[in-house]
Amino acid sequence: MFEKVLIPTDFSKHAQKVIECVGQIPGVNEVLLLNVVARPTITRFWDPVAEVKAAEKRLSEMKSALMVPGVGIKARALTVLEGEVASAIQKVAEDEKVSLVAMGARGKSLIESVLLGSTSRNVLRYGNTHLLIMRYRKLEETDQKEQCGKIFSKVLFPTDFSQPSEAALSFLKGLPDIGELLLLNVVSKGETEEEIEANVAIAKEKINEISSELSKDGMNVTAKVVLGHPVEAIRYEAEMQDVSLIAMSSQGAVAIKKGRIGSTAYDVANFATRPVLILRRSKIALYYI
């Protein structure tokens, strides 16, 4: 459950949309709006007190406009040096003991693309709290209004059958509001046709077993095994299946040893065109190992 949600905002249209759609996050009953005012590294005149007061005024206006039944809203503004925004977000997340950080894929940058903005990318790479990265395609393409939609209506969960992936799936199935779950395994190894066929057969057996167990628990589950590069296959299936969310473990069988996120999870979150939920291994291991 995501009872306490931190929403960092730079007052961009993407951040504003996350705030508007916070009611779609399952289990939320408390929201903390956070604006981090970054001091430019080269500046002669800068008034941090005035900057914080201005941010607090805008946050107060947001609080007044955000009416979600049963959800308490708090707001906070603070100042840091330029380049320390992501670190400040993570520190607040840890100090406030939030269960989820939810943020837009992009901020105020004038460079529009499917890639993450620098703050979102750094929170993804170095953060230690479950992270929901929201994408709103109409906002990126035009200034059209876009409905919030049900984030968990159709969830794609890529699995490599590793322990972290199993733990993330156990956590995910405990969330309410999941309408449909698509399990996906991407077979990317095999030197010969025989090896590939054997790997596919093993993967199908494993994924069908998992699907069967989830179905017994009352979930609407579809299982699929495909060949290809994991990141590209996940992105392709997300588009073809028109999923509302990609959810995955921060680490899998092969992870970046010196980082907090594996390369596949990082690349999917960075390049996907759908919302992505990254479930941090450190936050679910305590309950599912």
Report how far residue 207's alpha carbon sits from residue 179's, in angstroms, rounded to the nearest whole number. 19
- Burial of 180 per CB tally in 10 Å (0-12, 13-18, 19+): middle
Fold equal for 4-141 and 154-288? yes
Q: Say if residues 189 and 229 touch (Cβ distance below 8 Å).
A: no
What pLDDT sits at residue 16?
Answer: 86
**Hunting for tokens 């380049």 — which residue is that?**
83
| SS3 of the chain: helix, strand, coil, percent, to 5 | 40, 20, 40
What pLDDT sits at residue 203?
Answer: 96
**Count of beta carbons in the 10 Å neighbourhood of residue 176:** 8
- Burial of 58 per CB tally in 10 Å (0-12, 13-18, 19+): middle
Q: Say if residues 221 and 211 touch (Cβ distance below 8 Å).
A: yes
Query: 49-79: per-residue pLDDT in tens?
Result: 888 899 999 999 888 777 778 889 999 999 8
Q: Does domain 4-141 have CATH number 3.40.50.620?
A: yes
The closest of 283, 284, 286, 252 to 267, measured between CA atoms, is 252
Query: 235-252: per-residue pLDDT in tens?
Result: 999 999 999 999 999 987
Parts of the chain with a pLDDT under 70: 41-44, 82, 106-115, 137-147, 253-259, 285-289
CA dihedral 240, 22, 90, 253 (to 10 degrees): -30
Query: 121-147: per-residue pLDDT in tens?
Result: 999 999 999 999 998 765 555 555 666
What pLDDT sits at residue 285?
Answer: 56
Kind of pairing between the strands at 30-39 and 131-134: unpaired
Q: What 3-state DSSP class applies to 36?
A: strand
What pLDDT sits at residue 258?
Answer: 44
Architecture of domain 154-288: 3-Layer(aba) Sandwich (3.40)
The residues spanned by each domain of the chain are: 4-141, 154-288
What pLDDT sits at residue 110?
Answer: 41
